Structure 1
């Protein structure tokens, strides 16, 4: 997958969008994003055009309309940061799993909330993790994304855990003053 280079401003807006969206699940209004990143709504609308072109954001028309992050948005925020994979913790049934390294988190089908899956590529033993177990991955180094899910399946050959995502949490960045 080609990595998308985002400007700091785009990253900030995208992160604000993913944070607001994880709180409400509804489409997020440009004004709300503007408020969070301390820019005017016009600037946000312009940036959203470019983010839509990159397929990181979808526009939702109508009175309840606004913007929603796509699966690629979460990946774009994360992919640039996975330089130190050892820094991503993995928890199984609430206990930290030692001796495994999270190499990559692949978010597929975020467009279908009921089919929302994360493929977690791992180095290390995963024998004790079974279908139906709860697994938490993260926080990731930069966007501090935490994915909570239920193990839906395993690909032992490639060391991939397939999680049904129950929650994705990306905490808000501290505002820079």
Structure 2
């Protein structure tokens, strides 16, 4: 799967759509996305055309219509492997973890958006993490993505935490004036 290069604006809008869709479990109106990212609905419609062309979003016609993310949307936002072991912050129950380095964040279970999980690959042990602990990862160097969630499982041998995502955000770049 080749990775799709999204513009910061597309990332912001797609992230907003994924979050709104996870809460509503229904098609999301352009106006709602516009409100979420503080842009005008026309901008959102234009961006949606390009996201549809990339097959990341599908339009749902009708009065209850709007946009839904496709499975590819999760893949496209899938946080790239960190080039360097970047300074990606990791908070464990609100406390910064000094010796943990996040190597990779991958968003899994794409076909069940309501069960959105993230796999966090750490350098260093995951022994101190327990199910139900709150973890915040990010911001990542490129997309400035921040993932918050609760530990849902872990793989000690491979240093992987499985988080049940409660919130994802990629900050919007400053709106053009």
- TM-score bucket of the superposed structures, by smaller chain: 0.7 to 0.9
Which range is displaced more, 96-105 or 15-24? 15-24
| TM-score (structure 2 length as normaliser) | 0.77
Q: Any gaps of 5 or more consecutive residues in structure 2?
A: none
Once the two structures are TM-superposed, the CA of residue 124 in structure 1 deviates from its matched residue by 1.0
| Contact 2:125–2:156, Cα closer than 8 Å, also in 1 | no
| Contact 1:134–1:149, Cα closer than 8 Å, also in 2 | yes
- Residue correspondence of structure 1 range 87-166 to structure 2 within 5 A: 87-166=87-166
| TM-score (structure 1 length as normaliser) | 0.77
Q: Deviations over 1:146-171 (max 9, x none)?
A: 21111111111111101111222222
Tell me, in whole angstroms, the C-alpha distance in 1 between the residues paired with 2:94 and 2:115.
23
Q: Relative to 1, partners in 2 of residues 1:153 and 1:41: Cα closer, same or farther, differing over 3 Å?
A: closer
Once the two structures are TM-superposed, the CA of residue 128 in structure 1 deviates from its matched residue by 1.0
1:19 matched to 2:22? The reply is no
Q: RMSD across aligned C-alpha pairs, in angstroms?
A: 3.0
Which range is displaced more, 143-152 or 27-36? 27-36
Tell me, in whole angstroms, the C-alpha distance in 2 between the residues paired with 1:23 and 1:170.
14
Tell me, in whole angstroms, the C-alpha distance in 2 between the residues paired with 1:107 and 1:67.
20
| Contact 1:149–1:166, Cα closer than 8 Å, also in 2 | yes
Tell me, in whole angstroms, the C-alpha distance in 1 between the residues paired with 2:18 and 2:96.
28
| Contact 1:15–1:77, Cα closer than 8 Å, also in 2 | no
Aligned length: 171
User: Which residue pairs with 2:50 in the alignment?
Assistant: 47
Tell me, in whole angstroms, the C-alpha distance in 1 between the residues paired with 2:45 and 2:167.
31
User: Which residue pairs with 2:39 in the alignment?
Assistant: 36
Once the two structures are TM-superposed, the CA of residue 62 in structure 1 deviates from its matched residue by 2.9
Q: Any gaps of 5 or more consecutive residues in structure 1?
A: none
Secondary structure in 2 aligned to 1:174? coil
